[in-house]
Structure 1
Amino acid sequence: MSTLSLAPAFTAIPRARSTVRLTRRGRLAVFLTSLFLVLGVAFMLAGGAVGTGEAGQPAPTEIVQVAPGDTLWGIASEIATDGDVRSMMSEIERLNALESAGLAAGQKLRVPVVSD
């Protein structure tokens, strides 16, 4: 039988232990300083996300009353001139702050004006 012996590729060099140790108060100071630095940078960057002082132009809309048997898909398909019914449904949901596509008879919906 043969014996195989491997020599280590490197040898660990013992490091001298650092004599600097942070106390609980020191760790807290480092943490709070880092936190304030990150919050300060975030606050500075968020300043660029400010709107203008001028009012925007609202999109022209009209009011439609929901008849019995009407669905949001049906109303949106009548209004969508480009054939994109899903985006029109999303627009109607956004304009009326609807949480779902369910409608009730007699409900009044604000819909975009159809421009031919």
Structure 2
Amino acid sequence: MLVALFLAMVGGVAALLSPASQAADPASPPAVAVVQPGDTLWSVAARHRPSVVPFAVIDEIRRLNHLDGYTVYAGQELILPSD
């Protein structure tokens, strides 16, 4: 009986002293680019992530926007990959 009481006290103290968990921050809306006349996926990728080789960014843009090809149109909104 004393052992059970001791274990219950230790568990209670541990629960009180453990840090409170933090809820995840709400997800921010994804960045969106509006395709301008003359833009290509390459130019959008280079403008959005200039320090990264555009090939990887283009692949991610295509995946996020369910694009089968590489053609984009003026006025089209593209979801951009997060940094």
**Please, what TM-score do these two structures have when normalized by structure 2?**
0.59
Pair 1:76 & 2:35 matched: no
Question: Structure 2: where are the runs of 5+ without partners?
Answer: 1-26
Query: 1:113 Cα deviation (Å)?
Result: 3.7
2:8 alignment counterpart: none
Extract unaligned runs of 5+ from structure 1: 1-57
**Relative CO higher for 1 or 2, CA cutoff 8 Å, sep ≥ 6?**
2
Greater per-residue helix proportion: 2
CA separation of 1:59 and 1:85: change in aligned 2, threshold 3 A: farther
Partner of 1:68, secondary structure, is coil
Structure 1 Cα separation of the partners of residues 50 and 35 of structure 2: 20
The structure that has the greater radius of gyration is 1
TM-score normalized by the length of structure 1: 0.44
Give the CA RMSD over aligned residues.
2.1
1:63 aligns with 2:36: no
Percent identity between the two aligned chains: 35
